[in-house]
Structure 1
Amino acid sequence: MDPAEEIEQACADAWPAQTEQPLGGWRLRASVDTVARSASVAGGGGRRVGFTGRANSVLAVGDPGVPVAEALTRACEFAHAHGVPPMVQAVKDGRVERELAGQGWRPYVEYENGHEVAVLLGAVPAGPAPEKTAVLGAPTAGWWELAVGRPEPAPAERHVLTSGAKVGFGVAELDGVTAGGVRGSVVGETLLVARLAVRPGYRRRGLATALMAAIGDWGRRRGATRCVLQVSVGNTGALALYAGLGFTEHHRYRYWVP
């Protein structure tokens, strides 16, 4: 398997969708919650909201086992059945992107979370984890506040962020407050780090680096020999932080829509 595709498969295992259906080597994914509409909206009810592009798109790596046109038709049918817009995640400038373009699909440049993502690769972060940090086996309310903006997650958020055999939740506790958090998941020898966040009032104190060291130590003890991050190319602050920790860009992926 192509190295970029192998990394993408590991990352997908580390970020499990609520619903997943294989299509040859492709993975059709949906992770959706129903959010209450405003009382002023006619008809009431709720709207369907997907949690992250990664968990609500087709990971198009490898061979779908059918012609690409048929695979994309099935992808659209799956998306519509689960109440999410059809979207494909594909390695940038790869064979699948050329096939998508040939079928009339386009890069989803208006995607609010960033349609182009840099996949960074590096050694598992090293260094002693400061006493103010810990990696927990289950997320706390403070961790959830940093990860999803609320102390209690929606079902899709909980599933994606807590599922997996080796998942850890790093926290930095200061002044009785969860000042920072991070998520780590080990798949084989790969540690996927995500959801690194520090509260505004606690930034520029080295907490992000401390959390990376803590989750790196946790991952290493669970067999990880390399670390991967997926960062929107528009998130220049995060890219600079990770570059300072020795991470380099391995490849990029983009989201495509019909």
Structure 2
Amino acid sequence: MTTDDLGLDDVAAGPHAGEPHAGGLNNRLNWLRAGVLGANDGIVSTAGIVMGVAGATTDRGAILVAGVAGLAAGALSMAAGEYVSVSTQKDSELALLEKERRELRDEPEDELAELAGLYVQRGLSEKLALQVAEELTAHDALAAHAEVELGIDPDDITSPWHAAWASMVAFTLGALLPLLTILLFGPTVRIVVTALAVAVALALTGWGSARLSYGPTGRAVMRNVLGGLFAMAITFAIGKAIGTQV
């Protein structure tokens, strides 16, 4: 009987067997997530700013200054926030891996038994679980323990720079949509056209975020669009109220 017949190859593939495992998958998902969230924030926050200013004045120059300032500040803030957040995650992953290295060095037998026990919890017999643990440990002990115990791939640690750049670029691109829309159209139609453009863009980012998180797309799109429209309505009303007093 081969290891294929025992199902050993599937077990050795780890907890995500059957899913794509091209190198750097974790990092690609990381910057994709940051990109989608960055674009969404760029759309909503910049739309809120320009709508608020448009509620107070029809002066294209004032809207442009406010929108560009909001775009620049938001993009840099998003990049810094993602960098700090993912750096903290990376530090935690590296600390856990270092702890695992020490345990493998100082207590190899206990670690082997622990790995086998984890496979028993996943439904393998004790004999097969021990065989799997021994073969994986002989091949790459740290990778075997890190994936099963910690859910970490030592060769694919999250990159804070990838997340920061993806977030900043995506925020900028998202912010350009409401900014350009409200500037290119005249005062009589700019509010309606901008609201429609933002709604479509938020539907796309809501769908994208749902796909990345494997959640229901319909509810995600609805929440995203309604939340964005609500934010624009509130800031427009505030701008309108303040504009009449200035």
TM over 0.5: no
- Higher relative contact order, chain-length normalized (CA < 8 Å, sep 6+): 2
Q: Given the two structures, how large is their TM-score scaled by the length of structure 1? A: 0.21
Say which structure is richer in helix.
Answer: 2
Who wins on radius of gyration, i.e. which is larger? 2
Higher strand share: 1
